A and B are shown apart, each in its own frame.
Chain A
Amino acid sequence: MGIAFPFAAIVGQDEMKLALMIAAVDPKVGGVLAFGDRGAGKSTAVRALAALLPPMSAVVGCPYQCDPADAAAQCAECRARSKPSGKAKKPAGLKAHQVPVPVVDLPLGATEDRVVGALDLERALAHGEKSFEPGLLARANRGFLYIDEVNLLEDHLVDLLLDVAASGENVVERDGLSIRHPARLVLVGTGNPEEGELRPQLLDRFGLSVEVKTPADLPTRIEVIKRRDAFETDPAAFVAHWEKEEAKQRKRILAAREHIASVKVADRELENAARLCMALGTDGLRGELTLMRAARAAAALDGAKAVDDGHLKTVAPMALRHRLRRNPLDDSGSSVRVERALNELFAT
């Protein structure tokens, strides 16, 4: 892929950037969906994320990049290898090394066997061995799976991906194989609504949803073009120029990850979140849960000790706008409706 455009150098797109950072701090938030105009920089932001994320420690040789410190989330092989050495926290059987957080691209024409993994053809034909060749889901474990044009992806693949993302585990039952491996990943889907909509059943399976718009004011647009042009002229120099800013963002994510467990959510904020969801009539409790998770991550990113109204307000649109029951006759967009409900809630 060459050099990616630095995350910190992206002009505007605050909501999209925040959503991606929240997902980086707390992967359990459940995926990010970005819908927006053509040429607004959706894909740029996601591809920039890969370079921004701090590296993680992983078991050497493990196809799923298992975390050596987290036994519960390891694949069967890593667990088996770590057993003999007994109760030690980090068994000698597992060697760790630093790897970049995977941001795996799911190309549009991908077939199911490449996504979930399949029988290793080469070995099957050459040695007659039945072995599993991990797919994209394995490569994306503990990282991000990026689907461009998610609305054009075949339905059965989207179903499968959302299912895996929700369960954190990929179960393969095909080609005479029966394998399960961890696949804790954050789905990032982008798309252009003009080219087709996503089924409503799939919409609310994504945790956060952002609307990306092309910046409307001229100075911002000029700045975007300038930076992009500078980047294309000399990518290496441009990235070097932005490295400091990039490191700052990276530190913010790292600090937030450490800090998030201690962020408190007062009952009052829980009540506010519940009230908001009730006012908007979101189905189920997924709305409240995502709202709280996202608000906590936003607070952690701010370095705050507790979630306050401000955090709730910031994340409410992205956590809720795709969960509203669609009224085909309401002319106002869902963002406006969330905004309206927020104003009502915090006015009283």
Chain B
Amino acid sequence: MSDGAAIWADAMIAAALAAIDPAAASVLLRAGAGPVREQWLELLRELTPATTVLRKLPPSISDDRLLGGLDLAATLQAGRPVMQRGLLAELHDGMLIAVMAERIAPSTVAHLTAALDTGMISIERDGLSLRAPARFGLIALDEGIGDEHVSPALADRLACHLDLGMVARADLGESLFTSSDIAAARALLPQVGLSDEAIAALTTTACALGIDSLRAPLLACRIARIAAALDGATDVAESHIACAARLVLAPRATRLPAADDETETNEASEPENDPAENEEDDRSEDGPLEDRVLEAAQAAIPAGLLKRLQEERATRLRSSSASKQGTAQKAPKRGRPIGARRGEWRAGARLNVLETLRAAAPWQPLRRRAQRSGKSGRLIVHKDDIRLTRFKQRSGTTTIFVVDASGSSALQRLAEVKGAVELLLAECYIRRDEVALIAFRGKGAELLLPPTRSLTRAKRSLAALPGGGGTPLSAAIFAATELALAVKAKGQAPTIVLMTDGRANVARDGVGGRSEAEAEALVVARQLALTGIPVVLVDSSPRPQDKAAQLAGAMQARYVALPHADAARLSQAVMAEASRG
């Protein structure tokens, strides 16, 4: 059986599991729209009993459609608040198919996860308070390419993770199950028992695969149960556990149990050894079971996954703290609208007509009565009804140049940097990005150019940049970090471009001494790495030296050796990094 066929077989099992117990066997399906995905959905539809409601969730659904809220038309007509039920409430015991799941808005994700966790929806909005049961299965169709993924909070709660990217049309086989199988399994499910050994095996496997979240083994336990019911068994057997491990645990693996990396093996083997020593007798039997489950899970881990995961984790570690989405600007007046807010209509604020009318609507009969003379049919809007649109701006990039202006060779460098900054500025003008400049020489670092978009200001301050003196590298890195954090706090994404030969000889307190200064620079560089801000280190020494490379390693920077850089090449290198980060 080819890889694709094996994946398809698992996918068919997952479809059957989802049909048996939608709420427990939710599925994350990563595949482009195409015949393979269509066939899978078709299969799911065939297997799902006709009584189960299947609904589609568009990625841009509004909160009141999702959860329920005021029905504007009915409210106006009836003259009293009329509720409309949301998608989730209509769906009780049904199945929700989320298309383009990787684009679901964060607030929608939050509602979905809350509903999945509690099996309820609770609404406190539009002057209404409502709780409704909402136990539903979620099939998230992830059409992301490359870096696009379904929100981790949602993915964590979805049981089976499938990737049909490898499946070709030739791999598609006949359905393994019929709807009568599903009906039988549904009836059998409540009686299926799960042994402690099975739970232990799944938890151990999750641990060995480096899965932190406890939801994963829990979901695996449920999947094992359903798999047993599908098999017509009342007890979960090894094959069912293996199935759960393949579908739930393998796709979440963050490391291989027998990784070559030394530290990883240590971590992985420790938890396995300890209990084994303590409870030798108990475990002599289920030890092999765990191993076999692990093997099954391992076999299902696609080749190359681990490498990809490690890369991903590295980028995630950086991006989590450098989060571009982290700090949104206070009240921008342009960008993407993110809902409405009540407030005063002042200059600059954008009125949201629909929300304003919606706010005014329920009051109309009352206001008409109060305003007896008013003509009927006219909408009476009060100041309280005014709703303003709120916006979220896409954060721009700020490139912070940190230039070594020390010594004699720097003079030549400075001319290059000046050229590069000007080139970047021209490009930034188009991209709405900003540039800042810090120079360091003598006893300290100086912010020559605060973040700006102004071409003329930049040119003026660059022209006045002097050279010569010692190399206070640590002070420069510190100043750059501070500026980058300040920029980040304003909602922009900073990138630092550090141009130096890495040969520090002045410490932060202004005292000379090469070895101390270099050690201090490395410490500060490591601290900069912790902030997760992307850094490009441009080695400006005539011949590349390992000092600068070392420094780049410490700050997890991209190292570019440009002994004879011209301004154009430098700006190209920086733009490449900025667009990557």
Q: How far is the CA of A264 from the CA of B183 in the complex (A)?
A: 66
B90 on the A face (CB < 8 A): no
**Among the listed A41, A135, A329, which residue makes an inter-chain contact with B214, where contact means beta carbons less than 8 Å apart?**
A41
Do A40 and B214 touch (CB < 8 A)? yes
Bound Cα distance A108, B106 (Å): 11
Contacts of A241 in B (CB 8 A): none
**List of B residues within 8 angstroms of A331 by Cβ:** 526-527, 530
Per the bound structure, the CA–CA distance linking A126 and B369 in Å amounts to 12
- Chain A residue numbers with a CB within 8 Å of B126 are 111, 113
A218 x B124 contact (CB < 8 A): no
- Which chain B residue lies CB-closest to A152? B110
In the complex, which residues of chain A have a beta carbon less than 8 angstroms from the beta carbon of B203?
218, 221-222, 225
Taking a contact as CB atoms closer than 8 A, the residue among B118, B194, B199, B481 that contacts A329 in the complex is B481
**Are B526 and A218 in contact, with the CB atoms below 8 A?**
no
Within 8 A of A (CB), among B513-533: 524, 526-528, 530-531
| A226-B199, A229-B194 known; A329+B125 contact, CB < 8 A | no
Separation in Å of the B281 CB from the closest CB of chain A?
A: 15
**Whole-angstrom CA separation of A121 from B126 in the bound complex:** 10
Encoded as 1 (CB less than 8 Å from any B CB) or 0, chain A from 222 to 237 comes to 1011101100110000
B272 interface residue, CB < 8 Å from A? Answer: yes
Stretch at the interface among A59-67, A192-200, A268-276, A277-285: A192-200
Given A1-B118, A2-B119, A109-B107, check contact A214 B213 (CB 8 Å).
yes
**Known A-B contacts A125-B362, A225-B217; A111 and B481 likewise in contact (beta carbons under 8 Å):** no
For residue A39, CB closer than 8 A to chain B, the reply is yes
A86 lies within 8 A of chain B by Cβ:
no
Q: Is the CB of A218 within 8 A of B275?
A: yes
CA distance A113 to B107 in the complex (A): 19
Contacts of A112 in B (CB 8 A): 342
List the A residue with the shortest CB-CB distance to B212.
Answer: A214
- Confirm or deny: B54 has a beta carbon within 8 angstroms of a beta carbon on chain A: no
Give 1 or 0 for each of A29-59: 1 = CB within 8 Å of chain B CB.
0000000011111010000000000000000
**Interface-lining segment among B41-49, B92-100, B319-327, B432-440:** B319-327
Tell me if B111 counts as interface (CB < 8 A to partner A).
yes
* In the assembled complex, B18 has its CB within 8 A of some CB on chain A: no
Asked if B569 lies at the interface with its beta carbon under 8 angstroms from chain A, I say: no
- With a cutoff of 8 Å between Cβ atoms, the chain B residues found around residue A330 in the complex are 527
Cβ B214 vs Cβ A221 within 8 A: yes
CA gap between A180 and B79 in the complex, in Å: 29
Return A91 CB to nearest CB of chain B, in Å. 32
Chain A nearest CB, measured from B342 CB (Å): 8
Tell me the bound Cα distance from A149 to B153 in angstroms.
11
Q: B531 — which chain A residues lie within 8 A by C-beta? A: 328
Which one, B111, B213, B325, contacts A39 given CB within 8 A?
B213
Say yes or no: B214 contacts A225, CB within 8 Å: yes
* B196 sits at the interface (CB 8 A): yes
Are A122 and B80 in contact, with the CB atoms below 8 A? yes
Bound-state CA distance A218–B530 (Å) is 30
* Contact indicator B107/A152 (Cβ below 8 Å): yes
CB-defined contacts of B348 to chain A, threshold 8 Å? none
Q: Are A219's CB and B275's CB within 8 A? A: yes
Bound form: Cα–Cα A111–B67 in Å: 13
Alpha-carbon separation in the docked complex, A105 to B531 (Å): 34
A197→B362 contact, CB < 8 A? no
A113 CB → nearest B CB, Å:
6
Instruction: Give A37's nearest chain B residue, CB to CB.
Output: B212
Do residues A329 and B106 form an inter-chain contact, with CB atoms below 8 A?
Answer: no
Against A, the Cβ 8 Å flags (1 = close, 0 = not) of B230-267 are 00000000000000000000000000000000000000
A302 at the interface (CB under 8 A from B): no
Set of chain B residues within 8 Å of A38, measured between Cβ atoms: 152-153, 156, 212-213, 215
Which residues of B sit under 8 angstroms from A148, Cβ to Cβ? 114
Interface residues of B in 186-214 (CB under 8 A from A): 194, 196, 199-200, 202-204, 206-207, 212-214
Q: Is B365 an interface residue (CB 8 A)?
A: yes
Give complex CA distance A1, B204 in Å.
31
Q: Is A114 an interface residue (CB 8 A)?
A: yes
Instruction: List which B119-141 residues lie within 8 A (CB) of chain A.
Output: 119-120, 122-129
Taking the complex as formed, is B485 at the interface, i.e. its CB lies under 8 A from any CB of chain A?
yes
Q: Which of A317-334 contact B (CB under 8 A)?
A: 328-331
User: A245 at the A/B interface (Cβ < 8 Å)?
Assistant: no
B129 and A218 within 8 A (CB): no
B148 at the interface (CB under 8 A from A): no
A240 to B107, CA, bound (A): 37
Chain B residues whose CB sits within 8 angstroms of the CB of A225 once the complex forms:
199, 202-203, 214, 217-218, 221
Collect the chain B residues with CB atoms within 8 Å of residue A2's CB: 119-120
Whether A254 is near chain B, meaning CB under 8 Å from some CB there, is no
Given A125-B80, A195-B153, also A229-B111 (CB < 8 A): no
Interface string of B56-83 (1 = CB under 8 A from A): 0000000100010000000000011100
The answer to the question of A115 belonging to the interface, with a C-beta cut-off of 8 Å to chain B, is yes
* Contact between A218 and B481, CB atoms less than 8 A apart: no
Once bound together, how far apart are the Cα atoms of A205 and B111, in whole Å?
Answer: 26
A142-176 CB contact bits vs B (8 Å, 1 = yes)?
Answer: 00000011001000100000000000000000110
Assembled-state Cα–Cα distance A108/B118 (Å): 14
B291 interface residue (CB < 8 Å to A) = no
Q: Is the CB of A39 within 8 A of B214?
A: yes
Chain A CB within 8 A of B280 CB: no
CB proximity of A152 to chain B, nearest CB, Å: 6
B124 touches A115 (CB 8 A): yes
Tell me, yes or no, whether B117 is within 8 Å of chain A by CB.
Answer: yes
- Report whether B199 and A222 are in contact in the complex, using a CB–CB cutoff of 8 Å: yes
With the chains together, A118 CA to B124 CA distance in Å?
A: 12
Tell me the smallest distance from the CB of A242 to a CB of chain B, in Å. Answer: 18
Is the Cβ of B107 less than 8 Å from the Cβ of A222?
no
Residues in B whose Cβ lies below 8 Å from that of A41: 214
A214 contacts which chain B residues (CB < 8 A)? 212-214
Instruction: Give the interface of A toward B (CB within 8 A).
Output: 1-2, 37-41, 43, 105-115, 118, 121-122, 124-126, 128, 133, 135-136, 148-149, 152, 156, 174-175, 192, 194-197, 214-219, 221-222, 224-226, 228-229, 232-233, 328-331
28 contacts between A and B (CB under 8 A): A38-B215, A40-B213, A43-B117, A107-B123, A107-B124, A109-B63, A110-B125, A111-B124, A125-B81, A135-B124, A136-B124, A152-B107, A152-B110, A174-B384, A195-B106, A214-B212, A215-B214, A217-B271, A217-B274, A218-B203, A218-B204, A218-B272, A221-B203, A225-B199, A225-B217, A225-B221, A232-B222, A329-B524
Residues of B within 8 A of A (CB): 63, 67, 79-81, 106-107, 110-111, 114, 117-120, 122-129, 152-153, 156, 194, 196, 199-200, 202-204, 206-207, 212-218, 221-222, 271-272, 274-275, 320, 323, 325-326, 341-342, 362-363, 365-366, 369, 384, 478, 481-482, 485, 524, 526-528, 530-531
- The 3 closest A-B CB pairs, nearest first, are A39-B213, A114-B124, A39-B215
Given pairs A109-B125, A112-B342, 7 additional interface contacts (CB within 8 A): A109-B124, A111-B124, A121-B127, A125-B363, A125-B365, A215-B214, A218-B271
